[in-house]
A and B are shown apart, each in its own frame.
Chain A
Amino acid sequence: GENVEQHPSTLSVQEGDSAVIKCTYSDSASNYFPWYKQELGKGPQLIIDIRSNVGEKKDQRIAVTLNKTAKHFSLHITETQPEDSAVYFCAAGGGADGLTFGKGTHLIIQP
């Protein structure tokens, strides 16, 4: 089955700086890669996703890149703000079953 590795587990950046979270996956059949933001006590919120026919996707301060050959994808957040502090999860999907999630990155924005 699919295996998703996510790094780092904790990331602390100064407000205004950029944050990058990286994930690798194992199953070449995976073709859908969403990113979720989870705040304390809440459910995961879909913030951006990318499909395997695209190499990069951007939405305001958030961008995701995908390298199918190397089987890795990354989340980039620019001009970080205090409200970006949360746990971020990457995931991979492509079959009839559910998504396979990474273990999460706790992003801390230092004022």
Chain B
Amino acid sequence: NAGVMQNPRHLVRRRGQEARLRCSPMKGHSHVYWYRQLPEEGLKFMVYLQKENIIDESGMPKERFSAEFPKEGPSILRIQQVVRGDSAAYFCASSLQQGASYEQYFGPGTRLTVT
């Protein structure tokens, strides 16, 4: 039974390029969360999605960042025109039930480096 899968594991982008991060939730899970982790910091919530719906994007920057979770396929976190400050580890988590009162299981993360 596969856990949460993320790819790529490492991504290098030059300033101004686009970064696409993919997340496949655990089997049977339809709730996906994205978090960002800076070095020596805790994880910061970005966005919560269900299939075809964004439920809460209060933690996501208003510009350049977008997320989707289509009916078919993985959830995508997209960062346009990346800047050095976007360098971080991006984790997604999935849960079986709605809301932050239920267990969230994390993927291995995508480490984004902007040069």
Chain A residues with CB under 8 Å of chain B are 4, 6, 31-32, 34, 36, 42-46, 49, 51, 89, 93-104
Contacts and interface: CB of A to CB of B under 8 A. Distances in A.
12 contacts: A4-B42, A44-B91, A45-B106, A46-B105, A94-B99, A94-B101, A95-B99, A95-B100, A98-B100, A101-B42, A104-B40, A104-B42
Given A43-B108, A44-B43, A99-B45, 17 more contacts: A6-B42, A36-B106, A44-B91, A45-B106, A46-B106, A94-B101, A96-B48, A96-B56, A97-B59, A98-B46, A98-B47, A98-B59, A98-B104, A99-B104, A101-B42, A101-B44, A104-B40
Interface in B38-70: 40-48, 55-56, 58-59
Interface of B: 4, 6, 33, 35, 40-48, 55-56, 58-59, 91, 98-109
B29 to A, nearest CB: 13
A16 to B, nearest CB: 28
Contact of B45 (A42, A44, A100): A100
